[in-house]
Structure 1
Amino acid sequence: MRLQPEMKRYTRRLLVTMTLYAIALIGANMWFRHAPPSGPLAYLVAILPALPIMGVFVVIGRLLVEMRDEYVRMLLVRQSLIATGFALSVSTAWGFLEGFGLVEHTQGYWTTVLWFGGLGLGGCFNALTEWRTRA
């Protein structure tokens, strides 16, 4: 099966942003471990790994805009909505548990990890619905 041009662009963009993420994450960790920066530079270095992740959201948004097949676009939108609902629900529940002193504090970036996990759940939901409609 041949990839549509917009999927090829998405894959290429995602590869670039994830490569930049790996470089920024490893670089920031090494920098803080061996010669920790201070002042405003420390904030800049600490935020560097977040920038490519922000880029991933832009890449996904561009795919949704460029997608020519409206049915596939709807599946991607539904998958993203499931991911968003999942990540926000778990983060909200955790926040209340944390607020009442029942669980330890967790780093905020885990919400993004939950969102990407939610994309997987959304993909499974889409596959299940596709399977049910064909049966």
Structure 2
Amino acid sequence: MRRYVRRFVPITFVYMASIALATFIIADNAPATALTIGLALLPGLAVLGWLWAMARLLVELDNEYLRMLEVRKMLVATSLTLAITSVWGLLELYSPEIPPMPVFYVFPIWCVGLAIGQLVNRFGFGDAGDCG
């Protein structure tokens, strides 16, 4: 877990700094230039870093039970994300009044799903483990 946290925390700072930088430099409705695309991709690289850190956690966890708890959290998160985005997409398709959901929200929805998965582990199965 310490290796995971040592990976996750710096990636979080990179994400926050790159979001702040892009927000500060890129004007609303700016044209797609090399600069705007590059700045917009920086937070995406941090998201890839988070996913890599989570994958490494699964590989490095020696305790199979703790690994199962982490996998269950990710399954809950993935199921919730697929359900929300699929239903919202169908609403968009068949109800023109429904505003489109920006794709940006897919990963934050998944992260909320991780928290819900943690609650499922704790209250549905009686154990959330020590993996956060």
Same-fold status (TM-score > 0.5): yes
- Residue in structure 1 matched with residue 62 of structure 2 by the alignment: 68
1:55-93 alpha-carbon deviations (Å, 9 max, x no partner): 101100000000000000001001101100100110010
Which of 20, 24, 27 aligns to 2:18? It is 24
- Which consecutive segments of 4 or more residues in structure 1 shift more than 6 A? none
C-alpha displacement of 1:49 = 1.3
Aligned pairs, number: 125
The reply on whether 1:104 has 2:99 as its aligned counterpart is: yes
Aligned equivalent of 1:115, options 110, 113, 119: 110
How far the C-alpha of 1:15 sits from its partner, in A, is: 0.2
Structure 2: give runs of 5+ residues left out of the alignment: 128-132
**Aligned residue in 1 for 2:50:** 56
Q: Find the counterpart in structure 2 of residue 15 from structure 1.
A: 9
Q: Which residue of 1 aligns with 2:78?
A: 84
Question: C-alpha distance in 2, partners of 1:61/1:125?
Answer: 21
How far is the alpha carbon of 1:8 from its aligned partner?
A: 0.3
Between structure 1 and structure 2, the one with the greater Rg is: 1
2:130 counterpart residue number: none
Q: Which shows bigger deviation, 50-59 or 62-71?
A: 50-59
Q: Normalising to structure 1: TM-score of the pair?
A: 0.86
Shift of 1:40: 2.3
Residues 94-120 of structure 1, C-alpha deviations (whole Å, 9 max, x = no match): 001011124101210111111000001
Q: CA RMSD in A?
A: 1.8
What is the TM-score when the length of structure 2 is the normalising length? 0.88
For residues 122 and 37 of structure 1, do their structure 2 counterparts lie closer, same or farther at Cα, with a shift above 3 Å needed?
same
- Larger mean CA deviation between 42-51 and 63-72 belongs to 42-51
Alpha-carbon distance between aligned partners in 1 of 2:4 and 2:99, rounded to the nearest angstrom: 37
Distance change in 2, residues 1:99/1:14 (3 Å): same
Identity %: 31
Separation in 2, partners of 1:115, 1:59: 15
